[in-house]
Amino acid sequence: MLGGGIYRIKQNKIMLWLSSEKIPYPNGLSWHDGKLYVASWGKGMNADFTTQTLGGIYHIDEENPEAGLTETVSALGNLDGIAWIDDRLYVSDWITGVLYKIDHGVREPVLTLAPGLADIGSEGRLLFTPMMHQGEVTAWRL
């Protein structure tokens, strides 16, 4: 995240795939329908990791990453994890502990947990919410 780039492993080597000022502090990543979705932390990071501008969600075309970079949702939070369940996107805000659902461009807070809601993940209809400060993970059936 702090390096400002997205890396990939190719031929057993880690290499920079995309670095763009258009995506401030890229953090959560998830493939869906042939596109890479990226949750960004935001712009102008302060010492306490809050930002002057909240991060958003972007999607990237794998074949042409720089030209195929599109902001999907703007100014949502200091975003960490990103996961898909049934064509609905879920994203965590690490600073506030809010879990958002994005459904056809409409953002809706689903859960408000404690600050430190980290890299969420999903398996089927289960959504896993790791709480970094508490050292625990909860599974929610959606």
Q: What is the CATH number of the domain that holds 127?
A: 2.120.10.30
Q: Does 4 reside within a domain?
A: no
- Give me the pLDDT at residue 66, please: 73
Amino acid present at 49: F
- How many domains does the chain divide into? 1
Domain range for 46: 28-141
Helix, strand, coil share of the chain (percent; to 5): 0, 65, 35
pLDDT in tens, 7-44: 889 999 999 888 888 788 999 999 998 889 999 999 99
Query: Which tokens is 72 given?
Result: 């999907």
Q: Does 58 reside within a domain?
A: yes
Cβ proximity of 76 and 93 under 8 Å: yes
Averaged pLDDT for residues 113-127: 97
How many other C-beta atoms are found inside a 10 Å radius of the C-beta of residue 73?
21
Q: Does 23 reside within a domain?
A: no
Q: Does 12 reside within a domain?
A: no
Q: Does 14 reside within a domain?
A: no
Residue ranges of E strands in 12-97: 13-19, 26-32, 35-40, 42-45, 51-61, 69-77, 79-85, 88-93
Q: Does 130 reside within a domain?
A: yes
State the pLDDT confidence band at 75, using cuts at 50, 70 and 90. Answer: very high
Question: Is the entire prediction scored with pTM above 0.85?
Answer: yes
- Residues in contact with 40: Cβ distance below 8 Å, sequence separation at least 6, in sequence order: 23, 24, 25, 26, 27, 55, 56, 57, 58, 79
Q: Does 2 reside within a domain?
A: no
Reference 107, options 131, 72, 136; nearest CA is 72
Q: Does 64 reside within a domain?
A: yes
C-alpha span between 39 and 59 (Å, rounded): 9
